[in-house]
Chains A and B, each alone.
Chain A
Amino acid sequence: MDIGVIVSILDATLRLSTPLLLACLAGLYSERAGVFDIGLEGKMLASAFAAASIAAVTGSAWLGLLAGIIVSVLTASLQGAAAISLKGNQLIAGVAINMLAAGLTTFLGQQWFQQGGRTPPLQPGGRFTAIELPFTQELAGVPILGPIYSELISGHYVLVYIAFLAVPITAYVLYRTRFGLRLRAVGENPKAVDTAGISVTRLRYQAVLITGVLCGFAGAYFSIAQGSGFGNDMTAGKGYIALAALIFAKWRPVPAMFTCLLFGFLDALQIRLQGARLGGIEIPVQAIQALPYVLTVILLAGFIGKAVGPKAGGVPYTKER
């Protein structure tokens, strides 16, 4: 394999891991606050649809992104209302959100655009374009570092850079701010937080809303950056892979990034490995596709390390009276 192939696989890895990373960090906030979220998929799907619809109508990718975020946040609030205020089952709330998004996006898409659930193709301004970092041309000729800089690091959508920037920001917020400390505390021992005079409900809502914003970015990435327009079930289970990545990373931001890169890499590899052979045996593509899920199951079962989630996760908090 020459450097060109390696760079192109890694380039695809970055592109494919971006939505995973955004969704994974999204899930991190709400799960760290003690709200299980299996509705990442639904929020992304809702955002992807809203972003593509608005971008198609207005011709502006930024307005599309904004619409995606707003819709995702609204969906998250609905989920929050069920899981936090009404003390409902958080898992079932997530299932309902996923189903609602799958049904409504297809239904409204068909109603509004009459193209079998697809949104119209985007005009040039309606889609994010790749960003050329400075000195790309000048450095392209330098051996090894040249292609790495000009093809791997430069030339991505703005959302890719936002996603990777969100990692240090999340790590800082989580471990170095008062909000982060309280967020982690509310996921482990909400009663202690309540006793300290801090509102558990308020903190959990804040976490769920941040989840909504990040899922908004992730969804928009599918329909107005990576793709051009929304198609049925566009997120194709990526929300669940993000959930797997979150568990795999043991709910920590930096490992989350590496896990998403690994899962993105497996995805890139599986596209490239169609029909490839290893030692005379053909590797089934499906085996690589299933690998993230298998790895997560094995990790959860404690065969390689142990993943233990936030202690208060999944339990609605009831204030004593």
Chain B
Amino acid sequence: MSALRPLPRWADLVLLPILNLLLAFIVAGLVVLIIGQNPFVAISAIATGAFGNGYNIGYTLYYTTNFIFTGLAVALAAHAGLFNIGGNGQAYVAGLGVIFVALALDQYHWAIVMPVALIAAAVFGGVWAFIPGYLQAKRGSHVVITTIMFNFIASALMVYMLNRVLKPANVSGPESRMIAEGARMPRLSEFFPPFQYTPVNLSLIVAIIALFVVYVLVWRTKFGFALRTLGHNPVASRYAGMSNSRIIMIVMTLSGALAGMVAFNEVLSVQNRLVLDFVADAGFVGIAVALMGRNHPVGVAFAALLFGALYQGGNELQYVVPGLTREMVVVIQALVILFTGAMEGLFRPGLQRTFMLFSPEQKAEAAARETVGSEG
């Protein structure tokens, strides 16, 4: 048999992720079955909990917002061949930027606070990712290990900042002062009442804009070409006269800035103050989102919506099926990462063989064999 040929584009981008997702659901369904619950009841409870009414949809979109940001952060870095596992830390530290700006400017209208806070989130998140980028580019330390370490350094830093610097005297818990109401970024429910009091806010629009910006940056600019070249073959990009270290540093900074947008969403409109662990592992969900979305903004958008729905549906799940907690969603997420990211080899060769059976060459070859047979 001749060597396997690559899959058609649509199969690679759509069919394979869906097969992997299906497998993740089947395995998760088996777990549900083992503990004696009906997986179909669970899945319908998740779907209703995620999309049942305006309130549910509002929450789903709120989660989606965060996951678009972290998914894009991972996807952008991945195009340059970098695995940014530090989205959690970058988003966490970006919270500092947002809260500094918000507390300093909160006597002003939100329309003034919002753009400044957005820039502050990008700068703080960007700096937190720039350092690992710099260390990889100039000192050769592996960006994966450094970003993991930076996640932990970030959480120590934030505990310190919240307890010692930002905590007002009259508050007992480790959290900052509340942002004045007029400075908070408006929630979408103000324009669209069915969302009720859900936290989905204007940052969803920012997320959608970010999807476009990343698309243009990666596929329609010179820099995007350079970063994809680096991702495919660092030797080639250097030979072509591109500065690999410069690209690595810029990409990591941009990736961190994207992750930092989680803080923009959470601090300026959801929590309205800086609290411990507001990131809630959105950085890790971003890995699943980017893998599932094949690092493409369109894919990231769908995958973020899927995980947003799973998170929101997972919250509602325990009220419908007693005992099924939202940890089930973490399990599904882990399985998605496992199957789409690390176990691609499970489906790809089989799928490639299947496709070759139906390829034009194969048919021609089969026809040729038949003619030979009839002659002999």
The residues of A with any CB-CB pair to B shorter than 8 Å are: 38, 78, 81-83, 85-93, 95-100, 102-104, 106-108, 110-111, 117, 237, 240, 243-244, 247, 284, 286-287, 289-290, 293-294, 296-297, 300-303, 309
The residues of B with any CB-CB pair to A shorter than 8 Å are: 31, 35, 83, 85, 135, 139-142, 144-146, 148-150, 152-153, 156-157, 159-160, 164, 284, 287, 291, 323, 325, 327-331, 333-335, 337-338, 341-346
| In the complex, the 7 A-B pairs of residues with the closest C-beta atoms, listed nearest first | A103-B330, A86-B345, A88-B342, A99-B334, A92-B341, A300-B141, A93-B342
Complex Cα spacing A110 to B325, Å: 8
- Which residues on A sit within 8 Å (CB–CB) of B338? 78, 82, 93, 96-97, 100
- Closest residue to B139 on the A side, CB-wise? A301
With A86-B345, A97-B338 given, name 8 new contacts (CB 8 A).
Answer: A89-B341, A92-B291, A103-B331, A240-B152, A300-B135, A300-B139, A300-B141, A300-B146
Whether B156 pairs with A290 at a CB distance below 8 angstroms is: yes
Complex Cα spacing A103 to B329, Å: 8
- Closest residue to B339 on the A side, CB-wise? A96
Complex Cα spacing A86 to B150, Å: 30
Q: Pick from A38, A85, A284, A294: contact of B148, CB below 8 A.
A: A38
- Which residues on A sit within 8 Å (CB–CB) of B141? 297, 300-302
Query: Secondary structure of the A side of the interface?
Result: helix
- Which residues on B sit within 8 Å (CB–CB) of A81? 343
Whether B335 pairs with A100 at a CB distance below 8 angstroms is: yes
Complex Cα spacing A38 to B153, Å: 17
Whether B157 pairs with A88 at a CB distance below 8 angstroms is: no
Please give the distance in Å from A76's CB to the nearest CB on chain B: 14
Whether A91 pairs with B330 at a CB distance below 8 angstroms is: no
Complex Cα spacing A85 to B333, Å: 22
Whether A96 pairs with B342 at a CB distance below 8 angstroms is: yes
Please give the distance in Å from A271's CB to the nearest CB on chain B: 15
Whether B153 pairs with A287 at a CB distance below 8 angstroms is: no
Complex Cα spacing A37 to B141, Å: 17
Asked if A88 meets B343 with Cβ closer than 8 Å, knowing A237-B152, A294-B153, the reply is yes
Complex Cα spacing A282 to B333, Å: 42
Whether A104 pairs with B331 at a CB distance below 8 angstroms is: yes
- Which residues on B sit within 8 Å (CB–CB) of A297? 135, 141, 146, 149-150, 153
Q: Pick from B142, B150, B329, B341: contact of A96, CB below 8 A.
A: B341
- Which residues on B sit within 8 Å (CB–CB) of A301? 135, 139, 141, 146
- Which residues on A sit within 8 Å (CB–CB) of B150? 293, 297
Whether A107 pairs with B153 at a CB distance below 8 angstroms is: no
Whether B335 pairs with A106 at a CB distance below 8 angstroms is: no
- Which residues on A sit within 8 Å (CB–CB) of B291? 92
Whether B330 pairs with A99 at a CB distance below 8 angstroms is: yes
Asked if A95 meets B345 with Cβ closer than 8 Å, knowing A110-B323, A297-B135, the reply is no
- Which residues on B sit within 8 Å (CB–CB) of A244? 145, 149
- Which residues on A sit within 8 Å (CB–CB) of B327? 102-104, 106-107, 110, 117
Whether B323 pairs with A300 at a CB distance below 8 angstroms is: no
Complex Cα spacing A117 to B346, Å: 32
CB pairs A–B below 8 angstroms (12 shown) = A86-B345, A92-B337, A95-B85, A95-B284, A103-B330, A104-B31, A107-B327, A107-B331, A111-B323, A243-B145, A247-B145, A293-B149
Please give the distance in Å from B259's CB to the nearest CB on chain A: 16
Please give the distance in Å from A24's CB to the nearest CB on chain B: 14
Whether A284 pairs with B337 at a CB distance below 8 angstroms is: no
Q: Pick from B160, B325, B337: contact of A95, CB below 8 A.
A: B337
Complex Cα spacing A237 to B154, Å: 13
- Which residues on B sit within 8 Å (CB–CB) of A102? 327, 330, 334
Complex Cα spacing A98 to B283, Å: 14
- Closest residue to B332 on the A side, CB-wise? A103
Whether B325 pairs with A286 at a CB distance below 8 angstroms is: no
- Which residues on B sit within 8 Å (CB–CB) of A98? 334
Whether A284 pairs with B164 at a CB distance below 8 angstroms is: yes
Q: Pick from B35, B159, B335, B345: contact of A88, CB below 8 A.
A: B345
Whether A293 pairs with B153 at a CB distance below 8 angstroms is: yes
Whether A296 pairs with B328 at a CB distance below 8 angstroms is: no
- Which residues on A sit within 8 Å (CB–CB) of B333? 99, 103
- Closest residue to B146 on the A side, CB-wise? A297
- Closest residue to B164 on the A side, CB-wise? A284
Complex Cα spacing A87 to B328, Å: 27
- Which residues on B sit within 8 Å (CB–CB) of A108? 35
Complex Cα spacing A92 to B344, Å: 11
Please give the distance in Å from B2's CB to the nearest CB on chain A: 13
Complex Cα spacing A93 to B85, Å: 13
Complex Cα spacing A302 to B338, Å: 33
- Closest residue to A313 on the B side, CB-wise? B142
- Which residues on B sit within 8 Å (CB–CB) of A107? 31, 325, 327-328, 330-331
Complex Cα spacing A104 to B333, Å: 11
Interface centre among A107, A237, A290 (most CB of B within 10 A): A107
- Closest residue to A103 on the B side, CB-wise? B330
Please give the distance in Å from B310's CB to the nearest CB on chain A: 12
- Which residues on A sit within 8 Å (CB–CB) of B35? 108, 111
Please give the distance in Å from A99's CB to the nearest CB on chain B: 4
Complex Cα spacing A95 to B325, Å: 21
- Which residues on B sit within 8 Å (CB–CB) of A90? 342
Complex Cα spacing A297 to B337, Å: 27
Whether A88 pairs with B344 at a CB distance below 8 angstroms is: yes
Please give the distance in Å from A231's CB to the nearest CB on chain B: 14
Whether A293 pairs with B341 at a CB distance below 8 angstroms is: no
Please give the distance in Å from A236's CB to the nearest CB on chain B: 11
Please give the distance in Å from B334's CB to the nearest CB on chain A: 4
